[in-house]
Amino acid sequence: MELPLRVFFFAFLCLLVSYSAVVQAQGKNSKTVVTYDGRSLIVNGTRKLLFSGSIHYPRMPPEMWPDIIKKAKMGGLNVIQTYVFWNIHEPIQGQFNFEGNNDLVKFIRLIGQNDMYVTLRVGPFIEAEWNHGGFPYWLREVPNIIFRADNEPFKYYMKKYVKMIIDLMKKENLFAPQGGPIIMAQIENEYNNVQLAYRELGVQYIQWAANMAVGLKTGVPWIMCKQKDAPDPVINTCNGRHCGDTFTGPNSPDKPSLWTENWTAQYRVFGDPPSQRAAEDIAYAVARFFSKNGTLTNYYMYYGGTNYGRSTSSFVTTRYYDEAPLDEYGLTRDPKWGHLKDLHRALRLSKKALLWGTPAVQRVSNDLEIITYERPGSSICTAFLNNNDSKSAATINFRGMNFYLPPKSISILPDCKTVVFNTQTIVAQHSARNFHPSKKAKNLKWEMFQESIPTFNDLPVKNKMPMELYSFTKDTTDYAWYSTR
């Protein structure tokens, strides 16, 4: 009896291992269904609280990507948002570059390997303090083109580019329904800022852009930021510093409240001091947004990185959003990084109430407010105690207990009893960044180059009418000799 028992046990073990391998393989290749309703994004039937950060692949060497993504995850993020940069991928019409810093596919795969989601902002106009807003120079030379309008030449090239990017993502199986990490995509960018200038051409264009994007059938929701009239089923989203108070809300009750750009500081221009935004203010704004039905916030930027070469727009420095939670070098900028990490933990503890509870608002005074999320018939309950007075602290009575609130702060009680986080109370560590003189640069010497000044006859280009510098240099340089007589 002993030998057959061993044989049976060995066979059972092999069967178990085989079954486990099949389950794992199915898990890796399983299709993910991404939908939404008026409360949140829904991934495979499960509502999601999403904490996202903007990280742009061309603004750092590929060698830094793994470390930056891991630090974002450690900070409590579960989504990475990135633009797609047309002018680096197609600098010359018909010639494409997806290598090195431009390897979009590799970047997205790394995010997926860290079990994080991706929001892909295709644009193609991206702003992003990027040269030409992301448009390649050659697009300007298309006859009769009008950018970002109901204009046939522009729509032809825009659709061709967007389809190329979407087809690449599909080919590499990067959309969630294919087993990839991309759960949302964005078409256009802050178009409401310029739409009125285009009049009817603007209205028609935004309808066309939405229909074009949805028609590409990615299997994931499309969004438009700062686009109050985003056509269904595209979701309109908020950009700004305090979307909990400035966002007018989704333009349909069937769409969730999403915050696509929560500005962690401000990009820096030459001549200006570093932009500052306190960790306490960011935390307050996020807690406020989630207390008012928000379920996704994206930090713009979470890591800014570096503007290399001539990639940046006018006056913007090479150092991009150095005051973000991760600085230009990828170091954590504390307490900003740590305080937001603690905030994400507190909101996750409130997940069930926020996603399935019924909200209720109690105004105590002009500056004091209690917002609760409860699920009837259960113990699921979360409370946000809000003191909106920026100068004075307050004590608020909630369900028989007194709670102290510092000025301009929100306390989060995941069980409606215990304060686990206050936006003004920082317990995260503080850090300082020190610079040491470079030994390599110690003996560098400046040398001056004297350029000979050409005469009118020496200049090769002659024209009877003044020429526009940008068209003359074709975006290869910002300098040219100019002489008139």
Given a contact cutoff of 8 angstroms between Cβ atoms, the answer to whether 413 and 386 are in contact is no
Cis peptide bond N-terminal to 233, omega within 30: yes
**DSSP count for the chain of H helices, then E strands:** 12, 18
Cβ neighbours of residue 353 closer than 8 Å, sequence gap 6 or more:
373, 374, 375, 380, 381, 382, 414
Amino acid letter, 199 = R
190: annotated active-site residue: yes
Distance CA 51, CA 40 (A): 13
Given a contact cutoff of 8 angstroms between Cβ atoms, the answer to whether 279 and 341 are in contact is no
Amino acid letter, 267 = Y
Beta strand 368-374 with 117-123 is unpaired
Distance CA 407, CA 387 (A): 6
The number of CA neighbours under 13 Å toward the Cβ of 153 is 10
Distance CA 264, CA 94 (A): 37
First to last CA, the chain: 110
Distance CA 369, CA 380 (A): 20
Beta strand 41-43 with 46-47 is antiparallel
Among residues 261, 280, 328, 374, the one annotated as catalytic is 261
Distance CA 302, CA 319 (A): 14
Distance CA 253, CA 36 (A): 11
261: annotated active-site residue: yes
Sign of the C-alpha dihedral, residues 404, 410, 411, 413?
positive
Given a contact cutoff of 8 angstroms between Cβ atoms, the answer to whether 355 and 344 are in contact is no
Given a contact cutoff of 8 angstroms between Cβ atoms, the answer to whether 398 and 380 are in contact is no
Q: What CA–CA distances, in Å, run from 80 to 26, 151, 296, 373, 392?
A: 25, 33, 12, 28, 37
Catalytic residues: 190, 261
